[in-house]
């Protein structure tokens, strides 16, 4: 039902300098898998078969990561490490069409999504921001897909955050709430503590109807020279219902150092091959 997903990966990643000087932030690994691969797998697992990266030329390593590597594969074969081939060239990528569209200037998330308009055409589509990492039995995108099927509207993943952190996020003003589904009345980008309409913040997963493009085109650059996705949603809300789905599960903001380390520890404790040792190490450190 949702066959196309947009992954904006063209941002500067300034919070991860100096690492992000030569390595795209989205290629930083949590244990042994780059952040961007977790997001691509999440999309494929709901049935997506076209992945559209909004990228910049210096982030070519993302492209390389999703291409088949025959030379490395034959090296693994020759050195009797054939069991690693499925990690190198995962089978699930073989049927996927990957698109790479350059965002020539980093003019914000809204501007990045706008670059995908031609490839998306008249289809509803998913957007995944790879620096938000989610862990739950039913994936975050799957939860959104179920809500999309129920409402036939654009749906945004949200979660509650501490009011002290509210200024870092897009924040919704909730209308009707039924179970996990909220009808959005309004949305504001990075409000101050005093002006925040709620403590319900937007996370990095969305399903949009193609009408979002009309509103992205109508959105002006803000004071910092960016086209904000939040501003486009704000206007979309005047014409269409948009819902927020309260995400159930773990979420790590890997665009920040704290979230990145948190995710690394949480995943290490889940990884059977190292969890026992890591627990010991943590005990020793404490
Ligand atoms: P962020 O604002 O979290 O990423 O954007 P950033 O700008 O790269 O990081 P900092 O704030 O400088 O540390 C969320 C996602 O949107 C992409 C980013 O690559 C990231 O995946 N993005 C952002 C774009 O593709 N283009 C943009 O112009 C801005």
pLDDT digits (tens, 9 = 90+) for 54-87: 999 999 999 999 999 999 999 999 998 989 999 9
Are 282 and 274 within 8 A, CB to CB? no
Note the pLDDT of residue 166: 96
Question: Residue 107: CB within 6 Å of ligand 1?
Answer: yes
> For the segment 178-226, what is each residue's pLDDT rounded down to a tens digit?
989 999 999 999 999 999 999 999 999 999 999 999 999 999 999 999 9
Token reading at 6:
């947009």
Determine the atom of ligand 1 nearest the C-alpha atom of 130: 21
Instruction: State if residue 24 touches ligand 1 by the CB under 6 angstroms criterion.
Output: no
Cα 38 to middle of ligand 1, angstroms:
17
Task: Find the angle CA(57)-CA(62)-CA(66) to the nearest 5 degrees.
Answer: 130
Ligand 1 pocket check for 61: Cβ under 6 Å: no
Per-residue b/e over 37-64, b at no fewer than 16 CB within 10 Å?
Answer: bbbbebbbebebebbbbbbbeebeebee
Cα-to-centroid distance, 130 and ligand 1 (Å)? 10
pLDDT band, residue 5 (cuts 50/70/90): very high
CA–CA gap between residue 16 and residue 190 (Å, rounded):
20
Taking the CA atoms of residue 102, residue 108, residue 109 and residue 114 in that order, the dihedral angle to the nearest 10 degrees is -50
At 65, list the tokens: 């990561």
Say what the pLDDT of residue 234 is: 96
In order of their start, the domains of the chain are 4-255 (3.90.550.10)
CB-based contact 215:232 (threshold 8 Å): yes
132 lines ligand 1 (CB under 6 A): no
* 248 confidence band (pLDDT: 50, 70, 90): very high
Structure tokens, 242: 């948009």
Q: Return the best residue to mutate from 36, 40, 108, 109 for the ligand 1 pocket (most ligand atoms within 8 A of CB).
A: 109
Which token pair is 60? 């070519």
Residue 159's pLDDT is what?
97
- Give the confidence band of 171 by pLDDT, cuts at 50, 70, 90: very high
pTM (predicted TM-score): 0.96
Q: Ligand 1 centre from 116 Cα, in Å?
A: 16
> Does residue 130 have its Cβ closer than 6 Å to ligand 1?
yes
110 lines ligand 1 (CB under 6 A): no
Residues 54 and 37: beta-carbon distance below 8 Å: no
Average pLDDT, the chain: 96
Ligand 1 atom 18 nearest Cα: 11
Specify the ligand 1 atom closest to the Cα of 55: 25
Q: What ranges in the chain are assigned the alpha helix state H? A: 35-44, 60-66, 70-78, 85-88, 109-114, 117-120, 140-151, 212-218, 229-239, 257-270, 275-285
In three-state secondary structure terms, 129 is coil
Residue closest via CA to ligand 1's atom 9 equals: 13
Q: In whole angstroms, what is the distance from residue 176 CA to residue 89 CA?
A: 45
Whether residue 224 has its Cβ less than 6 Å from ligand 1? no
200 near 170, Cβ under 8 Å?
A: no
């Amino acid at each position: 039902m949702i066959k196309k997903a947009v992954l904006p990966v063209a941002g500067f990643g300034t919070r991860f300098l100096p690492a992000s000087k030569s390595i795209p932030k989205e290629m930083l690994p949590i244990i042994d898998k780059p952040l961007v691969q977790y997001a691509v797998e999440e999309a494929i697992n709901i049935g997506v078969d076209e992945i559209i990266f909004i990228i910049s030329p210096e982030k070519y390593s993302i492209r390389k990561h999703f291409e088949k590597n025959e030379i490395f594969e034959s090296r693994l074969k020759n050195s009797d490490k054939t069991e690693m081939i499925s990690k190198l060239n995962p089978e699930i990528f073989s049927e996927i069409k990957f698109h790479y569209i350059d965002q020539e200037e980093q003019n914000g998330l809204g501007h990045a999504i706008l670059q995908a308009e031609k490839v998306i055409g008249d289809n509803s589509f998913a957007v995944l921001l790879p620096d938000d990492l989610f862990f739950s039995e039913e994936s975050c995108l799957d939860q959104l897909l179920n809500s999309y099927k129920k409402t036939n509207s654009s749906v945004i993943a949200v979660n509650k955050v501490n009011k002290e952190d509210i200024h870092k996020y897009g924040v919704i003003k909730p209308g009707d709430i039924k179970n996990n589904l909220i009808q959005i009345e309004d949305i504001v980008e990075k409000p101050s503590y005093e002006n925040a309409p709620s403590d319900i913040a937007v996370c990095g997963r969305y399903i949009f109807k193609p009408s979002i493009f009309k509103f992205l085109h109508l959105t002006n650059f803000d004071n910092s020279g960016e086209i904000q996705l939040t501003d486009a949603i704000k206007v979309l809300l005047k014409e269409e219902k948009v819902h927020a789905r309260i995400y159930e599960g773990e979420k790590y903001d890997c665009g920040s150092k704290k979230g990145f380390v948190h995710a690394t520890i949480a995943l290490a404790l889940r990884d059977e091959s190292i969890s026992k040792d890591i627990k010991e190490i943590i005990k020793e450190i404490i």
